[in-house]
Structure 1
Amino acid sequence: MLNSTQVSYFTLAAYFDTGVFKYLYFLIILAFYIAIVCSNVFLIVVICMNRSLHEPMYLFLCSLFVNELFGSTGLFPFLLVQILSDIHTVSAPFCFLQIFCLYSYGGIEFLTLAIMSYDRYLAICYPLQYNTRMTPNKIAKLTALIWIYPILINIFIVACLTVPLQLCGNIINKVYCDNYYVVKLACSDTTVNNIFGLCHMFTVIFGLILLILYTYMRILKVCFSGSKQTRRKAVSTCTPHLASLLNFSFGAFFEIVQGRFNMSRVPNMLRIILSLYWLTCQPLFNPVLYGLNMTKIRIICKSLGKRM
């Protein structure tokens, strides 16, 4: 029986021989990564350099864009190396580090989107009290919560729950390291892992889902009973956020389904695309969604384009 300290590496079994096409895949992934870095960095700079954008909504957006850089950097450089490699292995410490980065990215993303829902709820349902409710001190606390909680919880999951497990194998059927697949390799009792996962899901994830549903129900109520100007404001500010939220939810759903159900009948390439969807589509689409739909950002970007 092997334990986690004796497993020096993991083999990523989802990769397959692509021949000369691996260079094409490498260029596609590299283009995606460059697009993600350039677009997110550009919008972060735009928000930070323009005082007119130093409002709660744009500060939370800035945090969202920073997280896109964090998550994509935890994935794309690794993918680029693995695509060109003939031996798809990863050291155990790096594997656990990638698990921490990707799971932290997912937690930060979902928590940010939930808090942005709350922010839109206050702005639309309580416009006259918005500035007194969403104070700079409250924004700082919410931003700290967005980053500190997922990071601490994932340090605990990886260091205290996953690393100590006794493992009977080292083959992960994915193109990157995944905590669920590592736990599936365990020979030892995983009851604590399962109980913690269920408790975390019901208390935190379902709690955030209820918060999002409540805020949008109230927003819809105000839209139906309010003026055209109120409806226009709600649509312009909530549409990109709702699109981002649905995109992330679908990606997470695909990932959960693929891990929990038998997907052997699904073509390998499609399984790889579905497993990468939630990690690649958000960093790619969020800058486009918010850059094109948020009026202030669009105006500033156009003025910058004219100057250049």
Structure 2
Amino acid sequence: MDNNLNITYITIDAYVELDKYRFVYFVIMFTAYILIICSNSTIVCLIVIHKNLHEPMYIFIAALLLNSVLFSTTVYPKILTDVLSEKQIMSYSACLFQFYVNYSLAASEFFLLTAMSYDRYVSICKPLQYPTIMTKTNICILLVAAWILPAGQLAVPVGLSADVELCEFSFKGTVCNSAVLKLQCDKAAVTAYGVLILVNDVVLPVLFILFTYTRILIICYHSSGEVRRKAAQTCLPHLMVLFNYFFLVIYDVITVRLETDFPKTARLVMTLQLVVYNPLFNPIIYGLKMKEICKHLKKLFFQGKTN
């Protein structure tokens, strides 16, 4: 506690043998950050530039990749600063802010995936109504809701936690997640509200996505091979991203619940996967599996060789 400024600091106790592997950590994380920014931004720029990609499906993909860039930007600068610092500390208010932004963006990812599944459902199951349902206005509403709803819900626990008394000052994580709320002396109210947020922002969107893709599978089963091919080409990448992200969120929930029992090295490895693997996984999947995006990527990177 800084009595003069009334700032409470917490210690980041996450890294294994940091003094020995300090520059290894830095090189790995800096390289990952550059790759994440470049890969996601490249596909977003392609979608913005090329008019044939100005369709709802690609707009939602661009929003999803932009979400990964924003998430990485809130995480990596702090990690890079920590691994180069002698002391890994962070003010409690800054940690709460990082928690708020990270979880808002994480929840937004589920809402964006929900919007994408709805888009595919309308496209495949109600093709004649697609132009009237997926209008520009409705797309904007879905995008705004995907970012505003999680941010509004998470503002409540963050507001409740801003001025509470802390009983612990050591945080066992590289990124401020819900474990930061466990530092509080009285955490019952925030924990109860956290369960509600988990249901609203993760469980319900995943159930809706599973429902829409079940309907798509039923329609495809009774349709022609061309319809099944189109469905597989556009829906498979979304499902891969969904399952990948869902399991990472489950890991986050489990490690928070088993905070004292989870080995430090295993926690570090899994956390690094969370901040490295998922933001890199999305552009790779959409860049390789989405035919139109892949075509523009080939033109971008290989046009010099073909000329």
Q: State the TM-score bracket (shorter-chain normalisation).
A: over 0.9
Residue 30 of structure 1 corresponds to which residue in structure 2? 30
| 1:42-191 correspondence to structure 2 within 5 Å | 42-158=42-158, 160-178=159-177, 180-188=178-186, 190-191=187-188
The CA deviation string for residues 72-116 of structure 1, in whole angstroms up to 9 with x for no partner, is 011111111111112110122321221122111211111111111
Percent identity over the alignment is 35
How far residue 288 of structure 1 moved from its aligned partner, in angstroms, is: 0.5
Letter matched to residue 169 of structure 2: N
| 1:233-252 correspondence to structure 2 within 5 Å | 233-252=230-249
Letter matched to residue 218 of structure 1: R
| Residue pair 2:37, 2:69 contacting (<8 A) in 1 also | yes
How far residue 148 of structure 1 moved from its aligned partner, in angstroms, is: 1.2
Letter matched to residue 46 of structure 1: L
| Residue pair 1:165, 1:183 contacting (<8 A) in 2 also | no
| Residue pair 2:98, 2:176 contacting (<8 A) in 1 also | yes
Q: TM-score, normalised by structure 1?
A: 0.92
Verify: 1:293 aligned to 2:292, yes or no.
no
Q: Secondary structure at the match of 2:18?
A: coil
Distance 1:154 1:279, change over 3 A: farther
| Residue pair 1:258, 1:275 contacting (<8 A) in 2 also | no
Letter matched to residue 165 of structure 1: V
Distance 1:50 1:271, change over 3 A: same
| Residue pair 2:110, 2:201 contacting (<8 A) in 1 also | no
Q: Which moved more, 1:97-106 or 1:46-55?
A: 97-106
Unaligned runs of 5+ in 2: none
The CA deviation string for residues 209-262 of structure 1, in whole angstroms up to 9 with x for no partner, is 221111011011012111100110011001111110011011111111111125
Letter matched to residue 216 of structure 1: Y
Q: Which moved more, 1:76-85 or 1:45-54?
A: 76-85
Q: Which moved more, 1:116-125 or 1:204-213?
A: 204-213
Superposition CA RMSD, Å: 2.1
Q: Which moved more, 1:119-128 or 1:230-239?
A: 119-128
Distance 2:163 2:272 in 1: 27
How far residue 130 of structure 1 moved from its aligned partner, in angstroms, is: 1.1
How far residue 263 of structure 1 moved from its aligned partner, in angstroms, is: 5.8
What stretches of structure 1 move > 4 A for 4+ residues in a row? none
| Residue pair 1:72, 1:279 contacting (<8 A) in 2 also | yes
Distance 2:200 2:16 in 1: 39
| Residue pair 1:11, 1:88 contacting (<8 A) in 2 also | yes
Residue 269 of structure 2 corresponds to which residue in structure 1? 273
Residue 224 of structure 1 corresponds to which residue in structure 2? 221
* Matched residue count: 303
How far residue 278 of structure 1 moved from its aligned partner, in angstroms, is: 2.9
Q: Secondary structure at the match of 2:10?
A: strand
Unaligned runs of 5+ in 1: none
The CA deviation string for residues 139-169 of structure 1, in whole angstroms up to 9 with x for no partner, is 01001101111222223331x2221322112
Distance 2:94 2:200 in 1: 30
Distance 2:196 2:152 in 1: 16
Q: Secondary structure at the match of 2:128?
A: coil
| Residue pair 1:162, 1:182 contacting (<8 A) in 2 also | no
Letter matched to residue 120 of structure 1: R
Letter matched to residue 180 of structure 2: V
